[in-house]
Each structure stands twice: as structure tokens, then as C-alpha cells.
Amino acid sequence: MKKIESIRREYGKTELLEKNMSPDPISQFDIWLKEVLEEKLLDPTAMVLATVDERGFPDTRVVLLKGFDHNGFVFFTDYQSPKAIQAEKNGTVALNFHWREFARQVRIRGQIKRISRHESEMYFSSRPRESQISAVTSNQSAIIASRSELEKHVTEVAKQYHEKNIPCPDNWGGYSVIPFEFEFFQGRDDRLNDRIRYLKLNNHWKMERLSP
């Protein structure tokens, strides 16, 4: 078995130069995401969401980006889940996109807030019916006795809403992360990576280069 300390690869010679980057990090993110989507990579919108719990301990999980613009980066979840409780109590979260095939990361820190109820309901109605049933069925992260108990509840909810529209649960909806900091990371050979950070100061973005 190969020793894990010996596992490494070179990232290539792709450059990340200030002169080629948009002065607006939202626009720069859009450029990078479009390049990823064109390659048809798996889970291109997957992002790590980092929060802090009531003890000050960090917590992470992968969620899916469902939209973004200058108003923020949107994802959906159960409002009673640990991620939601932690995010709302602290008010600040971090996101991390990792596109391995491009040797790229985008790190984001920002304030978090709920999107409107109408927006949450509109998105919920667009989800596959099975996903809607799962949202109604699951009390996310709560302890359950067994898988069979969960599946039984799913069957009961499916029967309850047979040939009926499934309403968006009150405890389910979207969040928007409003960034105040971005870092664009481009891996390069010999670990001399390019890192460009944007900081929002007085409603303007300041760009600066970080040491690898």
C-alpha cells in the first residue's frame, strides 16, 4: 500500500495574474464556474460550508450552491439543522469550492441571512417530488432508531400527499451568504501557488496577492 505521505501531484503551469482578473470577485467566480460547467465535472456546485457551534468548535459539511449574484450565494436546508442553528447564531460562515481537475479553490467568507419565504417556496416546488417528500419526512440530524423507521415514514408521507401538491415545510428554506472576502487559489508546480484575495472595504473590492 502506498504511504499517504508520498501521495502528491504537480498542479501545472496555469497562471493567475491580477491583470487577467475581474475587479469584481462575483464576476471572476462566474468566469471560473462557467469553465467548470463546460467540462461537465461531477458536482460542480458542491461547496464546503463551515460554521462554529455553541462551544466555539468548527463544523463543516458539503452543500450545493443553487444560485448566486451580487446579493449572495444561495443554498437550501432544514432551518432546524445544526448548520442552520450555528449559522444564524454566529451570523458569519465560510464557503469553499474545490475544483480538483483545475487545481482551483475559491474560499469565501460572508454574512448569512434567510432568503424570502416566496423564494424558498418557488425553489421547493421545482424539486423532484421524491426530494420534496424527503424534506417533509426528515427531521435533519435528529437521532432515529433505524433505517426502516425512516423508510416507513417516507411511505406514510407519500401516501398522505398522493396526487397532491406537497407544500414547502415551514422549517425548510434558503440562505444567502453575502461575501465580504474571497480568495481565488490556482495550484501551480512546486507548490508556488497563485492566491489572489479580494476584501470588501467601504463597499469596494480591494485585490491583493498572498504568498503561497
Q: Which residues are catalytic?
A: 191
Number of Cα atoms under 13 Å in the Cβ half of residue 3: 2
The Cα–Cα gap between 133 and 144 comes to: 17
DSSP 13: S
Contact (CB, 8 A) for 45 and 64:
yes
The Cα–Cα gap between 91 and 48 comes to: 17
C-alpha cell at 27: 464576476
